Amino acid sequence: MKERLSAKEGIKYLPHFPTVLIGTGKGKKANLITAAMVHVFSIEPEMIGTGISPKRHSFELLDEYEEFTVNVPDSSMLEELKGCGSSSGRDIDKFERFELTKEKSDVIEVPGVKEFPLILECNLEKKVKTGDHHWFVGKVVNAKKAENFERSETILYWGGEFRKPGDLIE
Ligand SMILES: Cc1cc2nc3c(=O)[nH]c(=O)nc-3n(C[C@H](O)[C@H](O)[C@H](O)COP(=O)(O)O)c2cc1C
């Protein structure tokens, strides 16, 4: 027998999602937002989407710049994820506050985060209004990875929990 849940409860039981810093804006307006609503939307061409609430400063910047970087952390970067996920670029410069360095992108104008081991540069292609978050879907136009980065050493988040990916089962 299975317990019947509300939709709200049901989605909480989904497994944890990769959690990243989305970079948008450039120069003094460069900003970072922590996002766990991140997924691959197409493999060919390579498209990544991120669900962003209209309440976020990053929402306005994504509309303005139509470019973003997906900065994937290693598991030592939890404080940076928590910090950029609990403060707004309307009030502070998050690069300065969290001692992160802007890494110039090769193909797009908005910067990535030097300290983060995987950076995907994306051009915004589509915006989809779903509900309280809108999906910004971008084409990956460049990717850079630190030599020692392992996917198992990243951070996942959902339902109030941060985790590392679990055991390899096949
Ligand atoms: C672990 C974590 C995951 C988050 N995921 C998202 C997300 O996927 N989409 C979103 O809009 N906000 C998400 N947030 C909230 C934003 O990161 C937060 O509201 C941030 O302060 C917005 O920054 P901004 O105003 O500079 O854009 C998340 C926060 C945390 C801590």
Per-residue pLDDT, 27? 95
- Does residue 71 line the site of ligand 1, with CB under 6 A? no
Interval between CA 87 and ligand 1 midpoint (Å): 9
| Residues linked to residue 162 through DSSP beta bridges, in sequence order | 157
Q: pLDDT tens digits, residue range 108-122?
A: 999 999 999 999 999
Spell out the domain ranges in the chain.
7-163
Token pair in block for residue 7: 């939709």
Please confirm whether the linkage preceding 117 is cis (ω < 30° from 0). Answer: no
Ligand 1 pocket: which of 21, 33, 162 to mutate (most atoms within 8 A of CB): 33
**Ligand 1 contact via 123 beta carbon (within 6 Å):** no
Residue closest via CA to ligand 1's atom 18 equals: 85
Distance, CA of 146 to CA of 44 (rounded, Å): 24
84-113: average pLDDT: 98
> What is the pLDDT of the chain when averaged over all its residues?
97
Answer yes or no: is the C-beta of 56 below 6 A from any ligand 1 atom: yes
Question: pLDDT for 50-73, tens place per residue?
Answer: 999 999 999 999 999 999 999 999
The answer to whether domain 7-163 has CATH 1.10.260.40 is no
| C-alpha to C-alpha distance for 51 and 59, rounded to whole angstroms | 10
Q: Enter the pTM of the model.
A: 0.98
For ligand 1, the distance from its centroid to the CA atom of residue 170, given in whole angstroms, is 33
